[in-house]
Amino acid sequence: MQGKSLFLLGCVAACASKMDPPTDDDPCVPKPVVPGGSAEVGLGTDFTPIADGQNATVTLGTQGFWMFIASARTLDMNVGSGDREGVVEFTAFDAQNQQVSVDFRCRVREFMPHAGAAEPDYRYLSEQYNVALEPAFSSRLEGTAVTLQVDVHDVDGRQAISRKTVIAHFPQP
């Protein structure tokens, strides 16, 4: 098992080392923040709000990482599709506020209105986001408090951050 973890960690490191340095038009480069808007981190392939302290089951991903299936929604932010996609970054933290998720940097993602939603102003992340956990942390994950954070930037420069804490559990057989 240790060999598999080292192999996976090596693959992640190799991928990270091949990333191009950020440029001025890189959506991950911080820009001046415009006031307004809000975001909310959620769980599942279809956004489900998180109640602080609720139980959440992790999923074993195809690359061998335990992960939370996360989502997000925004309010009063200029996010959508095409040239209005939002910039998102999901991160997981332990009880000491140390990052325990694999750092994949930010991603540009599409946000859509929710079909049949009672709240027409919300925009939802159009696909799930897999928040992969560091292998060393996964070994002590069961019953642990984990804070999930989403950081969203829109095309107008608004930034919104949401943090919710869940109690992590492995799937039951």
86 located within any domain? yes
Residue 34: pLDDT band with limits 50, 70, 90: confident
Asked if residues 105 and 44 have their Cβ atoms less than 8 Å apart, the reply is no
The number of domains in the chain is 1
Decide if pLDDT at 14 tops 50.
Answer: no
**What whole-number distance in Å separates Cα of residue 53 and Cα of residue 48?**
14
CATH of the domain at 103: 2.60.40
Q: Which residues have a Cβ under 8 Å from the Cβ of 139 and sit 6 or more positions away?
A: none
Range of the domain at 55: 39-169
29 located within any domain? no
Q: What is the mean pLDDT of residues 105-124?
A: 81
96 located within any domain? yes
Mean pLDDT for the chain overall: 85
138 located within any domain? yes
Residue 53: predicted pLDDT: 97
Residue 15: predicted pLDDT: 41
144 located within any domain? yes
93 located within any domain? yes
pLDDT tens per residue, range 50-107: 999 999 999 999 899 999 999 999 999 999 888 889 999 999 999 999 999 998 888 9
4 located within any domain? no
**What whole-number distance in Å separates Cα of residue 150 and Cα of residue 131?**
10
13 — phi, psi (to 5°)? Answer: -65, -40
- Name the strand (E) or helix (H) holding 91: strand 86-93
Residue 18: predicted pLDDT: 43
